[in-house]
Amino acid sequence: MKNIDSISHVTGRSLYVDDIPVRTGTLYGAVFASPVAHGIVHGLDVSKAEKINGVEAILTAADIPGENQIGGIIPDEVLFADGKVEFNGQPMALVVARDELTARKAVAAIKADIEALEPVTDAREACEKDMLLVPPSTFQTGDVESAWDQCAHIFKGRTESGGQEHLYIEMQGSYAYLMENGHVKIRSSTQGPTHVQKAAANVLGIAMHQVEVDVTRLGGGFGGKEDQATAYACMAALAATKLEKPVKIILHRMDDMRMTGKRHPYSADYVIGLSKDLKILAYKATFYQNGGAAADLSPAILDRSLFHSTNTYYIPNSKVTAYSCKTNLPPNTAFRGFGGPQGMFIIESAIAKAAHELNMPARMIQQKNFLKEGDHFQYGQVAKNVNIGKCYQRADEEYHIARIEKDVEKFNEANQWRKQGMALMPICFGISFTNKSMNQARSLVHVYQDGSVGVSTGAIEMGQGVNTKILQVAARTLSISPDKVKVETTNTTRVSNTSPTAASSGADLNGKATEMACKQLAKRLRRTAATLLSEKPANITLQDEQVFVNGVKSQLCWTELVKKAHLDRVCLTEQGHYATPMVDFDKEKSKGHPFAYHVYGLAVVVAEIDCLRGNYHFEKVLMVHDFGNSMNHSIDMGQVEGALAQGLGWMSMEEVAYDKEGKLLSNNLSTYKIPDIYSAPREVQCVPLPTKGPKEAILRSKAVGEPPLMYGIGGYFALQNAIKAFNPDHVPDFNAPMTMEKVLMRLYQ
Ligand code: MTE
Ligand code: HPA
Ligand code: MOS
């Protein structure tokens, strides 16, 4: 089935926050943000700005009737700076004006009196100064210290991975207006409507039931709107409440890039120990996460880095400690993979280092250490339905890995100034929120009198196709045509207490809840049909909009049945509540069963560099991916291709740069490069691993949103191997992204 949004997307009819027809009297907000990264605020001179014709108000922390606090996991983030500023781009005031240009003009006329203090932008420096957002976290298994003696080879090193700008097409935005009795309605570009509702209620000093949040869809979120749409929603709600006028705020691209957090850069030290026959016996590492100026989601992201710190390998003795460091940068936040990619880059670097020192391809080590059925992860969960071995086998059958390796060698022998490199990237990604309580969802299903169906859930559509999947679940469970089903906007008054659509579990959680509601409705309708046909309910089935008795088609169709059920006063509305069974994790002990299941996969990546210029392209990315029993092949393939491009971008060309003063240098699309069609790999193939899929996944179709991003990590190592083919003296270092400039330097190192 096609993505239900495809026609409206290509014809420009899809609605985003900025497309909502505005109400009469709507005002426009623009944010004044700190021009320095760290300092004491002595005052804000708004005298010039206030006088500009069309300016209605300039709101600051002093105007907040409730609490100046929007922190998610810990309450450490103010809506407007108060007394001090902690990052360049931190909101200090909101100008509200009759039109947007005036609001922006007024912002430019505001002067802040700030006594600048020394900023800290480096995670390790912050850690040395004891500037931590939360206490450090450690995962361990076995006894790493006593394992070193058994190791034939021990290697150590350091790695760095950079930040990443989400670059969703739709900027952060919100539109808020008053309903009756001080109630406020917020249209927001958020992945987490409940978080917006809760934070807005807190800022306004009212109860959650007085705030309604509604989301039609996002023009991409990628994690960047899991937490960080909240501030702009709260500002619009505050202004709307104060001025009793509708207020809209849409960030411009450069403001969005400057003011919002990104993927966390990580710096890490590792030690890896191997036996003579290349078994990884011990792994020890320390991670320094650059958290930015407030916690945001950093603690949960830190945890996921630890969960994925051994990727798809079984390592009997390991100890990994991670520090979430407070720096004077915008609070870094969720980004597809949620810390997993950073953790995986570090273990893959350690393996690449060992392979380099032992003078062999990394795949010899990777393959030897793949997780096997019944192995336990570092965090205690026993690995079930382990598919990594099967993915490798399938990849070898389909793509002939040794042959690709040979072809790369032949190419390198034949070409003096062009070199290729190959790398394998195996992945293993845990599905569920690592915070147990978030693994729940609800769905509200109405069957209307005419037999059409409306479904509301907590899921946010952001391009990943979750609405299409939910629609498929409803249509399949009720056995009706997809045309009869509509997926409604995500609204906190219809479905409450939602988890953000994140952790790749939007379709699983909300799909399962929808399936439960639809099963109840179907059961009820079968009972009605049984009465109408004087049969036992057990003999009745609903199939293709028709009632069947003992497998024989009756005269009664879906539409007629629904109509009769309504006349008979049968309830045609149902709510499903789903809570993922089995998941549990003891944070104190760092042990448990946090994930409903894992997604596996393997990519073979070939990169090719021009050794005169240092520029490069990816020649091939050949994947075997564990979709389970995919319920929507075209959506799932879209997710694989999009995530791959984003992963390759993170590892190769996307370079977030701040200066020493904490000012963003890569603040627009001419200085921040993301992959475009010209940098797509020349050949991309993805074959599904044939499995029946776990029952924990909706319709046994595994979560797909984040895992394939990590195939991109293979791009780094493929480039590194190509460099080695040209410059045998090159000592690999692990400092991502591998930009073209870096490649050139390494070629002639
Ligand atoms: N795909 C598109 N097109 N746009 C997005 O913003 N976000 C990704 C992924 N795929 C995203 C996307 C992220 S970060 C997550 S967690 C999942 O989709 C969330 O959706 P799901 O849980 O429904 O897979
Ligand atoms: N993934 C994404 N978002 C989250 C998670 C997670 O594991 N935990 C809390 N928020
Ligand atoms: Mo995705 S980073 O969990 O929004």
Q: In 268-324, which residue ranges form alpha helices assigned H by DSSP?
A: 298-307
Residue 317's identity, in one-letter code, is N
Cα 62 to ligand 3 centroid, rounded to whole Å: 33
Q: At residue 54, does pLDDT exceed 90?
A: yes
Cα 133 to ligand 1 centroid, rounded to whole Å: 27
CB 44 within 8 A of CB 109: no
708 lines ligand 1 (CB under 6 A): no
Q: At residue 173, does pLDDT exceed 90?
A: yes
Q: Encoding tokens for residue 630? A: 């995919």
Q: d(Cα 575, Cα 441) in Å, to the nearest integer?
A: 10
- Go through the chain and tell me how many residues it has: 749
Q: Determine phi and psi for 477, rounding to 5 degrees.
A: -70, -35
pLDDT tens readout for residues 60-75: 999 999 999 999 999 9
pLDDT tens readout for residues 555-601: 999 999 999 999 999 999 999 999 999 999 999 999 999 999 999 99
Q: Encoding tokens for residue 626? A: 């564990």
Nearest alpha carbon to residue 377 among 336, 347, 350: 347
Residue 141's identity, in one-letter code, is T
Residue nearest to atom 7 of ligand 1 (CA): 222
CB 340 within 8 A of CB 304: yes
CB 614 within 8 A of CB 744: yes
Q: d(Cα 718, Cα 692) in Å, to the nearest integer?
A: 32
Q: At residue 319, does pLDDT exceed 90?
A: yes
Residue 417: other Cβ atoms inside 10 A: 10
pTM above threshold 0.95:
yes
Q: d(Cα 44, Cα 89) in Å, to the nearest integer?
A: 15
Segment 436-455 mean pLDDT: 98
Residue 347: other Cβ atoms inside 10 A: 26
- How much is the pLDDT for 465? 98
Segment 427-442 mean pLDDT: 98
Give 670's contacts (C-beta < 8 A, 6+ positions apart). none
CB 173 within 8 A of CB 250: yes
Decide the pairing of beta strands 453-457 and 184-188.
Answer: unpaired
Percent of residues, the chain, with pLDDT higher than 90: 100
Nearest alpha carbon to residue 308 among 429, 391, 389, 432: 429
Q: Ligand 2, from 74, 134, 226: best to mutate by most atoms within 8 Å of Cβ?
A: 226
222 lines ligand 1 (CB under 6 A): yes
Atom of ligand 1 nearest to the CA of 335: 14
Segment 275-279 mean pLDDT: 98
Decide the pairing of beta strands 153-161 and 734-735.
Answer: parallel
Nearest alpha carbon to residue 218 among 442, 466, 7, 453: 466
463 lines ligand 1 (CB under 6 A): yes
Q: In 534-669, which residue ranges form alpha helices assigned H by DSSP?
A: 558-567, 633-651
Residue nearest to atom 1 of ligand 2 (CA): 503
Q: d(Cα 548, Cα 556) in Å, to the nearest integer?
A: 8
Give 676's contacts (C-beta < 8 A, 6+ positions apart). none
In the chain, the N- to C-terminal Cα span, in Å, equals 52
335 alpha carbon, closest ligand: 3
User: How sure is the predictor about 749, in pLDDT bands with cuts at 50, 70 and 90?
Assistant: confident
Segment 441-449 mean pLDDT: 98
Q: At residue 425, does pLDDT exceed 90?
A: yes
Helix or strand or coil: residue 114? strand
Give 690's contacts (C-beta < 8 A, 6+ positions apart). none
Nearest alpha carbon to residue 235 among 264, 265, 255, 263: 255
226 alpha carbon, closest ligand: 3
- How much is the pLDDT for 520? 98
pLDDT tens readout for residues 701-720: 999 999 999 999 999 999 99
424 lines ligand 2 (CB under 6 A): no
pLDDT tens readout for residues 639-694: 999 999 999 999 999 999 999 999 999 999 999 999 999 999 999 999 999 999 99
335 lines ligand 2 (CB under 6 A): no
Sheet containing strand 418-431, strands side by side = 418-431, 597-610, 616-625, 683-688
Concatenating the DSSP letter of every residue in 189-231 gives --S-HHHHHHHHHHHHTS-GGGEEEEE---S--TTTTTSTTHH
Give 389's contacts (C-beta < 8 A, 6+ positions apart). 370, 372
Q: Determine phi and psi for 321, rounding to 5 degrees.
A: -115, 135
Taking each helix axis as running N to C, give the angle between helix 506-533 and helix 466-478, from 0 to 180 degrees, rounded to the nearest 10: 20
Q: d(Cα 511, Cα 474) in Å, to the nearest integer?
A: 8
Q: Encoding tokens for residue 458? A: 């907590």
Q: Ligand 1, from 164, 215, 222: best to mutate by most atoms within 8 Å of Cβ?
A: 222
Q: d(Cα 187, Cα 15) in Å, to the nearest integer?
A: 11
Cα 705 to ligand 1 centroid, rounded to whole Å: 5
Taking each helix axis as running N to C, give the angle between helix 713-726 and helix 740-747, from 0 to 180 degrees, rounded to the nearest 10: 30
- How much is the pLDDT for 508? 98
Q: What is the mean pLDDT of the chain?
A: 98
Q: d(Cα 698, Cα 514) in Å, to the nearest integer?
A: 10
Percent of residues, the chain, with pLDDT higher than 70: 100
- How much is the pLDDT for 426? 98
Query: Is 77 marked active-site?
Result: no
pLDDT tens readout for residues 330-362: 999 999 999 999 999 999 999 999 999 999 999
User: How sure is the predictor about 490, in pLDDT bands with cuts at 50, 70 and 90?
Assistant: very high
Atom of ligand 2 nearest to the CA of 435: 8
Atom of ligand 3 nearest to the CA of 502: 3
Q: d(Cα 196, Cα 365) in Å, to the nearest integer?
A: 46
Q: Name the helix (H) or strand (E) containing 676.
A: none
Q: At residue 506, does pLDDT exceed 90?
A: yes
Distance of CA 672 to the CA centre of its chain: 20
Concatenating the DSSP letter of every residue in 25-50 gives T-EEEEEEE-SSSSEEEEEEE-HHHH
Give 546's contacts (C-beta < 8 A, 6+ positions apart). 553, 554, 556, 557, 558
Residue 514's identity, in one-letter code, is T
On the 0-12 / 13-18 / 19+ scale of CB atoms within 10 A, 118 is exposed
Q: d(Cα 411, Cα 420) in Å, to the nearest integer?
A: 7
Q: d(Cα 95, Cα 109) in Å, to the nearest integer?
A: 11
DSSP 8-class letter at 710: G
Which of 212, 348, 619, 706 is catalytic? The answer is: 706
- How much is the pLDDT for 728? 95
CB 492 within 8 A of CB 197: yes
429 alpha carbon, closest ligand: 2
